[in-house]
Amino acid sequence: QVQLVESGGGLVEAGGALRLSCAASGRTSSIYNVAWFRRAPGMLQEFLAAIRWPDNYTRYQDSVKGRFTISRDNAKNSVYLQINSLEPAAWADYYCAASLLASSAPLMGDWTFYTHWGQGTQVTVSS
């Protein structure tokens, strides 16, 4: 079993920056991909970024490329999402998720592929 806990959310001014953390525990050696998703009020869940362990391949939603960066710290079993140039539209609940099976690049952005989820952390943007 894998457990994920997000942290780092909060109130940030528009144009500011924030780093979200996802701490993994349990059978962390079995994790193949870790991804970040968000869900804004009244909207569907949106894929943001993912990282693949064997080759460190990363994939981003086109709309966040250049502003969001996903990274990992293997020693701490943690994955991070650096968010820069925050827009009001970034106001949402952010979730990290893990998959335990190998994937193609397209599947890395498919929420149905991920089987382990954190509880979420909220980002609120002031303008």
Q: Encode pLDDT of 46-70 as tens digits.
A: 999 999 988 899 999 999 999 999 9
74, with CB counted inside 10 A (0-12, 13-18, 19+), is exposed
Mean pLDDT of the chain: 95
Once rounded to an integer, what is the mean pLDDT over residues 23-29? 95
Query: Has residue 103 got a pLDDT over 80?
Result: no
Identify the residue whose tokens are 């943690």: 78
- Give the Cβ contact number of residue 27 at 10 Å: 12
98, with CB counted inside 10 A (0-12, 13-18, 19+), is buried
Helix (H, G, I), strand (E, B) or coil at 62: helix
Give whole-number Cα distances, 43 to 46, 58, 92, in Å.
8, 25, 9
Once rounded to an integer, what is the mean pLDDT over residues 20-30? 95
Query: Has residue 104 got a pLDDT over 90?
Result: no
